[in-house]
């Protein structure tokens, strides 16, 4: 569900107000608890660093300036340092000493906020650049997959189904992105399998079935040299044919199988059942749903099956299915 722009802006302003409120909270609490001016001032760096990390250079600098103004106001008009006032008066320190400390501290805080915010903005820019590169590599790999019409369309639909199931299970955005990428590439190893075997209309022999199973390891072999962020999807691709009861391609079972792979497994089977294949006609979505439900706790993770049923009831698993013909 898309969040309206006005709501996002309100949420952003609300978060910034909470940071400013934290300044007042720190001042009120520490002025009564602590007796060292340096300790009190030192704590004001925390909201500045937090603002830099969450919002960037501008907000961090403003937070630092607000901290300095607050301290100056407390010194001028309030009991700025509480129990420490008597000790400072007894020491008869020159009046400018306190202000010199505050000026040095305030300047350092503002510079720290500016620099930390700049570093965070650069880091975020680099992350965005890496994400763009990542999606570019996915598009290149998908181009190679387009030589096999069924594999291309099947992977696209499995990615859509998987993302829907992941969202229904409240997975975070990073996990959903990894699931979509893994689903797009889960059958890439089939590019190294003969098309005659992939489109064979008759029942496969044991030897042919073992060769088909090799598409998983072949796919890993194609993905490993890419490196970078794409490496995160390798364990998912490797496990997408593992079954919840351990009877799949590998003996891994239950929670030991990555949740992303368990989701793709359901989406993969559902799309295969509802698509025309050379050896059979497509099932109806309701027939495919019944097979998925029957496979709960054996082939599939019950939590994923529950999310699948919910998405199915809400009509969120309606994806255009392209007719497939053998080349």
- Considering the domain architecture, whether residues 166 and 249 belong to the same structural domain is answered as yes
CATH code for the domain in which residue 306 is found: 1.10.3210.10
C-alpha angle with apex 200: 199 to 204, nearest 5 degrees?
A: 130
- Considering the domain architecture, whether residues 166 and 306 belong to the same structural domain is answered as yes
Residue of 199, 204, 218, 307 lying closest to 263 (CA atoms) = 307
Tell me the chain's radius of gyration from C-alpha atoms: 29
**pLDDT tens for each residue of 101-128:** 778 878 888 888 888 888 888 877 777 7
Structural domain boundaries, residue 239? 146-313
- Considering the domain architecture, whether residues 167 and 307 belong to the same structural domain is answered as yes
Count of domains forming the chain: 2
- Considering the domain architecture, whether residues 87 and 223 belong to the same structural domain is answered as no
Is the dihedral angle over the CA atoms 325, 194, 135, 305 positive or is it negative? positive
Cβ atoms of 291 and 273 closer than 8 Å: yes
DSSP state of 300: B
pTM of the complete model beyond 0.85: no
Residue by residue, pLDDT tens for the chain (327 residues) are 444 444 444 455 455 566 656 655 665 565 555 545 555 666 677 777 777 777 778 878 888 888 788 777 777 765 544 444 444 444 445 656 667 777 887 888 888 888 888 888 887 777 776 666 666 666 656 655 555 566 668 888 999 999 999 999 999 988 998 899 889 888 888 877 777 777 776 777 888 888 888 888 888 887 777 666 677 888 999 999 999 999 999 999 999 999 999 999 999 999 999 988 777 788 999 999 999 999 999 999 999 999 999 999 999 887 654 444 333
The catalytic site residues sit at: 190
- Considering the domain architecture, whether residues 114 and 50 belong to the same structural domain is answered as yes
Q: Is residue 191 part of a domain?
A: yes
How far is residue 153 CA from its own chain's centroid? Answer: 25
Q: Is residue 15 part of a domain?
A: yes
Question: The tokens of 112 are what?
Answer: 């720290």
User: In whole angstroms, what is the distance from residue 138 CA to residue 181 CA?
Assistant: 7
Residue of 115, 101, 16, 31 lying closest to 66 (CA atoms) = 16
φ, ψ dihedrals at 161, nearest 5°? -60, -45
């Amino acid at each position: 569900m898309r969040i309206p722009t006005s709501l996002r802006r309100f949420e952003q302003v609300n978060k910034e107000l909470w940071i400013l409120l934290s300044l007042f909270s720190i001042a009120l609490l520490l002025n009564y608890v602590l007796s060292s001016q340096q300790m009190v001032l030192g704590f004001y760096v925390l909201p500045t660093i937090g603002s830099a990390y969450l919002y960037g250079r501008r907000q961090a600098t403003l937070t630092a300036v607000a901290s300095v103004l607050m301290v100056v106001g407390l010194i001028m008009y309030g009991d700025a340092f509480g129990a420490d006032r008597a000790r400072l008066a007894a020491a008869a320190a020159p009046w400018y000493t306190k202000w010199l400390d505050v000026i040095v501290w305030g300047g350092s805080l503002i510079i720290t906020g500016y620099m930390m915010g700049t570093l965070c903005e650069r880091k975020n820019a680099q992350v965005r650049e890496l994400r763009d590169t990542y999606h570019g590599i996915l598009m290149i790999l998908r181009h190679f997959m387009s030589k096999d019409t069924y594999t291309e369309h099947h992977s696209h639909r499995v990615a859509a189904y998987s993302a829907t199931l992941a969202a229904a299970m409240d997975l975070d955005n990073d996990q959903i992105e990894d699931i979509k990428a893994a689903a797009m590439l889960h059958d890439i190893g089939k590019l190294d399998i003969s098309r005659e075997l992939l489109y064979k209309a008759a029942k496969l022999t044991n030897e042919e079935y073992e060769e088909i199973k090799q598409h998983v390891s072949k796919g890993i072999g194609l993905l490993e040299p890419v490196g970078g962020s794409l490496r995160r999807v390798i364990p998912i691709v490797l496990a997408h044919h593992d079954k919840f009861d351990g009877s799949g391609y590998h003996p891994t079972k239950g929670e030991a199988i990555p949740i992303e792979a368990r989701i793709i497994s359901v989406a993969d089977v559902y799309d295969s059942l509802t698509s025309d294949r050379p050896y059979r006609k497509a099932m109806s979505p309701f027939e495919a749903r019944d097979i998925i439900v029957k496979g709960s706790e054996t082939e599939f993770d019950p939590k994923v099956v529950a999310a699948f049923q919910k998405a199915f009831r809400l009509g969120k698993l309606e994806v255009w299915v392209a007719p497939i013909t053998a080349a």
